[in-house]
A and B are shown apart, each in its own frame.
Chain A
């Protein structure tokens, strides 16, 4: 190329000088450190549900992190690649059951028998297996669009749960203990008590999922997935195979869903097929859409809102679904980009700009 005397131009978007450039990374790290120390500084003591000085609050936050981790992957699939794959509940169940079966002791009674693997070996194996299953689900689905895609993946996700709930007599090698449910052997971080251990594990899972999400979506994969979402038809002449990238998104989202599922199983300590049927999908959709599609903090914010509502309305299950439905509708109508988009919406509002101008004139002493 003959680029002789062109003055150098910035190849990356302009960023503030020095350490301010890493503001976003520091913010993320800071928030996670804060969450990590939250059990010892229970500043949310005034909200019963998230009061981290007791086990109830810690357990609830551990659920928040587990749902959040699964929703991060869901966000990549739905928010970034624009593929409405609804098999997430099934993959969540694979994470829960997979770790339960692999880590269960081998020498116990028939129903609860397992393979006696260490937890940290079973976790990556289960997540990778789920990613492969996610890609397999994606294969027929990547050729479908919109409504048809949603129906196909919903059915395939349900199929996973149906297989899990198969009776011992039908498939004896499965060890899922049919519809009765499976005891989840609990892993404990040495030196921490039970609840605190789940709390830290789930927080770690959310951290891993979010860091991977942030790295991948800010770079080439994020651009490519956006292209698949926005200009699907034009990706061919760019040398981008939209089918391939939809499968990548399916695989990554399945990985995160299984990770979240494994953490969820650790918290709940008993996995049952009935929990994963349509309810779980609705829960994760609420987490994702109320939190904010294709926003980094969306899954965490959505999970906080969801877990709060679920605990608040635990006694009246029907009311919970009614309220979740109303919130989902309101979110789609009023806040299509979710609660996570509120700060930006506020900053962009005329009211905020007006306020800012007034403040500037107030503090302008150069008269």
Chain B
């Protein structure tokens, strides 16, 4: 890390401040190029990663957390190369993540599920456990206290000793976020944490995330389809489309970027003020209706519209 900094003193201050830096990431699945040279800088705070379905957002997460091998490029966590680490080493280095669908042990309690995130921090081994050593017991109690505090922040403390399978999908996703956070990560990857959550669950989730982010100066990276949530939470948003970053910057900048609108709607589509879409001739940028699209509310409605037209292959 120091070598890199010394080589380019102050040349790239954004790089030095970045918790997680992704450089020129290429991933191909059997010739299908999913990521084609993705450069991303994630700084402490909330970072949004958005894009249409199949853009490669989850693939970025999968490469960072070690599920998918990249063909090219590198990833550094606080200046340290991540790609040579195993999945468990990455967790110890400080990368936490959640999955789109919650992955909990359904016949274990919420507390036990949350404790799983803490396991790699236990100092006493399983032999101490077998001998019922008091030190091991104390450590377990401490871990339970930390987990309980975390569950409390997400409004789950009262359900701590209920089976995770008895919880609603929204609560299960909250448990997963809590489990990722008790591991004391420095970078957390949240894959659609708010999908399937009720309005009050989203409020709880955002409040908890904001509190913890502020306390620990966490770097939180969120993939999310709910544009309103992303724009209100993340000061910096990156838009991924067909494996390339097409826009990056503040929410205002991103939502008004013609390239983003084109990515979501495709060529030759326009949007009326009511959010209704119909096909027109010629590329969107040439069309005078572009002004209407700049309004955030209009785009959002399209964004969450399940019947949005299929994207065309970019030329």
Q: By CB atoms of chain A within 10 A, which of B105, B111, B116 has the most?
A: B116
CB distance from B188 to the nearest CB of A (A): 10
CB distance from B49 to the nearest CB of A (A): 17
Annotate B138-154 by CB proximity to A: 1 below 8 A, 0 otherwise.
00110011101100100
Nearest CB to that of A237 among chain B residues?
B97
At the interface, yes or no: B108 with Cβ under 8 Å from chain A?
Answer: yes
Contact of A216 among B66, B129, B145, B146 (CB under 8 A): B129
Residues of A within 8 A of B107 (CB): 226, 230
At the interface, yes or no: A13 with Cβ under 8 Å from chain B?
Answer: yes
Q: A11-B141, A219-B129, A220-B126 are known contacts. Are A234 and B99 too (CB-CB below 8 A)?
A: yes
Annotate A228-249 by CB proximity to B: 1 below 8 A, 0 otherwise.
0011011011111100000010
Q: CA of A226 to CA of B126 in the docked complex: distance in angstroms?
A: 15
Q: A215-B130, A237-B180, A239-B119 are known contacts. Are A6 and B149 too (CB-CB below 8 A)?
A: yes
At the interface, yes or no: A3 with Cβ under 8 Å from chain B?
Answer: yes
Report yes or no: B116 in contact with A224, Cβ–Cβ below 8 A.
Answer: yes
Number of chain B residues whose Cβ lies closer than 8 Å to a Cβ of chain A: 49
Residues of B within 8 A of A234 (CB): 99, 103
Annotate A3-14 by CB proximity to B: 1 below 8 A, 0 otherwise.
100100111111
Report yes or no: B146 in contact with A239, Cβ–Cβ below 8 A.
Answer: no
Q: CA of A248 to CA of B129 in the docked complex: distance in angstroms?
A: 14
At the interface, yes or no: B104 with Cβ under 8 Å from chain A?
Answer: yes
Residues of A within 8 A of B122 (CB): 220
Residues of A within 8 A of B117 (CB): 238-239
Q: By CB atoms of chain B within 10 A, which of A13, A236, A238, A248 has the most?
A: A238
Nearest CB to that of A234 among chain B residues?
B103
Nearest CB to that of A231 among chain B residues?
B103
Report yes or no: A239 in contact with B183, Cβ–Cβ below 8 A.
Answer: yes
Report yes or no: A237 in contact with B145, Cβ–Cβ below 8 A.
Answer: no
Report yes or no: B129 in contact with A237, Cβ–Cβ below 8 A.
Answer: no
Residues of B within 8 A of A10 (CB): 160-161
Give the interface segment out of B10-18, B28-36, B87-95.
Answer: B87-95
Q: By CB atoms of chain A within 10 A, which of B111, B132, B180 has the most?
A: B111
At the interface, yes or no: A125 with Cβ under 8 Å from chain B?
Answer: no
Interface residues of B in 65-98 (CB under 8 A from A): 65-67, 86-88, 90-92, 95-98
Q: A10-B161, A227-B116 are known contacts. Are A236 and B66 too (CB-CB below 8 A)?
A: yes
Interface positions of A (Cβ within 8 A of B): 1-3, 6, 9-14, 212, 215-216, 219-221, 223-224, 226-227, 230-231, 233-234, 236-241, 248
8 contacts between A and B (CB under 8 A): A6-B152, A9-B160, A10-B161, A221-B129, A230-B105, A237-B90, A239-B92, A240-B120
